[in-house]
Amino acid sequence: MHKKMAFSFPDEVLEHVFSFIQSDKDRNAVSMVCKSWYEIERWCRRKVFVGNCYAVSPRMVIRRFPEFRSIELKGKPHFADFNLVPDGWGGYVFPWIAEMAGAYPWLEEIRLKRMVVTDESLELIAKSFKNFKVLVLSSCEGFSTDGLAAIAASCKNLKELDLRDCEVDDLSAHWLSHFPETYTSLVSLNISCLGSDEASFSALERLVHRCTNLKTLRLNRAVPLDKIANILRHAPQLVEFGTGTYTADVRPDVYSDLAGVLSSCKELKSLSGFWDVIPDYLPAIYPVCSKLTSLNLSYATIQSPDLIKLVSHCPNLQRLLVLDYIEDSGLEVLASSCKDLQELRVFPSDPFGAEPNVSLTEQGLVAVSLGCPKLQSVLYFCRRMSNEALVTIARSRPNFTRFRLCIIEPKTADYLTLEPLDVGFGAIVQYCKDLRRLSLSGLLTDRVFEYIGTYAKKLEMLSVAFAGDSDLGLHHVLSGCESLRKLEIRDCPFGDKALLANAAKLETMRSLWMSSCAVSFAACKLLGQKMPRLNVEVIDERGPPDSRPENCPVDKLYIYRSIAGPRFDMPPFVWTMDEDSGLRLS
């Protein structure tokens, strides 16, 4: 076999080629081809993504990528959304901001998910980055409107301020007036999570009026329906709009005002908000429905007939978020009207109720799977499921990439046969070859994990609760799922053996969360000692784990790979197992 000479490129040409390669995965692949590509790539990487803020230190990132303009960081594990991660666990962004403030005055974009952001951090951002353009905070907490005021006042080039599902301390609605009168560059504003205090409408109106490039505006619940018309009148160019509360006394002038101004928004593609909807005002949005590609009705407590009417006006819908009030009948209409549907999320209106309050069953999901050829992402809450339904769904919709099924009551069996739902989920992983994300529920034995380990070769994230019989289940997943990056498990009988036997696998994943399982403290210590590139965190609010016998199971376990070593910002109920002492207190 003759050896071919490598084709030589000048560096600038290679850099130019790399400028067309943007995804993190591809950039990482490029950087590992050879030494010269590594060097060139690191100097021209402009966007850095760090999936776990504790996997690497800010200094390391800055040293390797001297010229990035945009950073995305994620903090707490996903199960924090379900209150499984105690307050104070960590995920503080301040150290990152502090390091970057010194090294990177030209940073333009910061995107954070599940991190603790303080007003101090926001003030530092406002002060340090002169060309700051984009701030996206997703499921973050720890800051107040004072921090937002600092951003508004100082960031003259701000284009995007997006607060999604954040917990914000609403001290004053007047932070909006801190945007100077000369400021006009806003393109995207999402304040939907802000509190219900009286907002400063005039400041908002003036802001919308002077920012003629505004494309996305998502208001919070406090903005009343009759104010929307005034706001929208100044922004007919909007592409994405979120209403505030969608209720008011039924008045024809308010209605016609609203309908008129909405129909003049010719570019509108996405609607959300709709708190407290009263059906009388719904038809106001019919004129824009035919162009809608995304509709978020997850706060809209309207019943099935109104939902059906609304949905049948939206033939181009690609994304729908809705409460289970839509019922099976509504989903059938959706299946026949919305052939472009790609993503569906159905949330429970009454998850804690003992009896179902709506007629939403597995049939709705089957209907949508059969009827919508482009459907690839589903999050579905329901109260019953059958293997038969799951097999039908799998066979008819092999293009699923995300399948999250949440049968509300844990360990619910197939309602037709009373068997576990192993075969049903097995069909999902067998037929849906590109499945990247899966959430399991219902009665499940080790067998479902066999199927997953055998077939789910592209699976990247798996969520498991109240499932499995033994360590073999976990072993199948860890040894079989080649692409697995995130695994989160709660209340399953998985213990030490599978974990220890597959320890090397853990280094190929971003993280593993196990709570209320059967992993002993001794195993945690061993893992921490043997695997220096893993941080093994034991989270236990009952007190130090060494105050109990070693074979006692730990309450919560969070394992993640890291080249930054153990962290030092842990609260008293978190311990990192490491090589030195086997037990390190914060």
Residues in region 153-172 near another protein by CB under 8 A: 165
Backbone φ and ψ of 57, nearest 5°: -95, 155
Coil, helix or strand at residue 130:
coil
**Among residues 562, 557, 380, which one has the least CA distance to residue 474?**
557
Residues in 294-323 that interact with another protein by CB under 8 A: 298-299, 301, 323
Residues in 122-151 that interact with another protein by CB under 8 A: none
Q: According to the binding rule CB under 8 A, does residue 1 interact with another protein?
A: no
Q: According to the binding rule CB under 8 A, does residue 103 interact with another protein?
A: no
Q: According to the binding rule CB under 8 A, does residue 342 interact with another protein?
A: no
Q: Identify which of residues 177 and 220 has a Cβ nearer to another protein in the complex.
A: 220
Backbone φ and ψ of 479, nearest 5°: -90, -20
The two counts, helices (H) then strands (E), for the chain are 21, 23
| Closest approach of another protein to the CB of residue 321, in Å | 8
Backbone φ and ψ of 74, nearest 5°: -120, 145
Q: Identify which of residues 51 and 315 has a Cβ nearer to another protein in the complex.
A: 51
Q: According to the binding rule CB under 8 A, does residue 110 interact with another protein?
A: no
Q: Which residue has the tokens 């974990």?
A: 499
Q: According to the binding rule CB under 8 A, does residue 11 interact with another protein?
A: no
Q: According to the binding rule CB under 8 A, does residue 416 interact with another protein?
A: no
Distances (CA, A) of 24 to 29, 34, 41, 46, 115: 9, 17, 12, 10, 21
Q: According to the binding rule CB under 8 A, does residue 535 interact with another protein?
A: no
Beta-bridged to residue 487, according to DSSP, are: 462, 512
| Closest approach of another protein to the CB of residue 130, in Å | 27
Q: According to the binding rule CB under 8 A, does residue 60 interact with another protein?
A: yes
Interacting residue with another protein among 147, 224, 242, 348 (CB under 8 A): 348
Contact 273, 225 (CB under 8 A): no
Interacting residue with another protein among 318, 363, 412, 535 (CB under 8 A): 412
Residues in 479-508 that interact with another protein by CB under 8 A: 479-480, 490-491, 493, 495-497, 500-501, 504, 507-508
Residues in 359-398 that interact with another protein by CB under 8 A: 379, 381
Neighbouring CB atoms inside 10 A of 312's CB total 15
Q: Identify which of residues 81 and 267 has a Cβ nearer to another protein in the complex.
A: 81
Q: Identify which of residues 70 and 445 has a Cβ nearer to another protein in the complex.
A: 445
Distances (CA, A) of 355 to 300, 351, 360, 541: 21, 9, 12, 33
| Closest approach of another protein to the CB of residue 418, in Å | 6
The pattern of x and - marking residues 192 through 221 that bind another protein according to CB under 8 A reads: -----------------------------x
Distances (CA, A) of 267 to 182, 264, 295: 26, 9, 14
Q: Binding segment for another protein among 44-52, 232-240, 265-273, 366-374 (CB under 8 A)?
A: 44-52
Q: According to the binding rule CB under 8 A, does residue 523 interact with another protein?
A: yes
Q: Identify which of residues 91 and 442 has a Cβ nearer to another protein in the complex.
A: 442
| Closest approach of another protein to the CB of residue 126, in Å | 28
Interacting residue with another protein among 55, 333, 368, 378 (CB under 8 A): 55
Q: Identify which of residues 156 and 404 has a Cβ nearer to another protein in the complex.
A: 404
| Closest approach of another protein to the CB of residue 183, in Å | 30
Residue 336, token pair as written in the block: 């026949």
Q: How many degrees, rounded to 5, is the angle at CA 416 between CA 414 and CA 417? A: 70
Q: Identify which of residues 16 and 127 has a Cβ nearer to another protein in the complex.
A: 16
Q: According to the binding rule CB under 8 A, does residue 77 interact with another protein?
A: no
DSSP letters spanning 169-229:
E---GGGGGGS-TT-----EEE-TTS-SSPP-HHHHHHHHHH-TT--EEE--TTS-HHHHH
Residues in 544-583 that interact with another protein by CB under 8 A: 551, 561, 563
d(C-alpha 469, C-alpha 458), whole Å: 24
| Letter string b/e over residues 140-173, b meaning 16 or more CB atoms within 10 A of that residue's CB | bbbbbbebbbbbbbbbeebbbbbbeebebebbeb
d(C-alpha 371, C-alpha 334), whole Å: 8
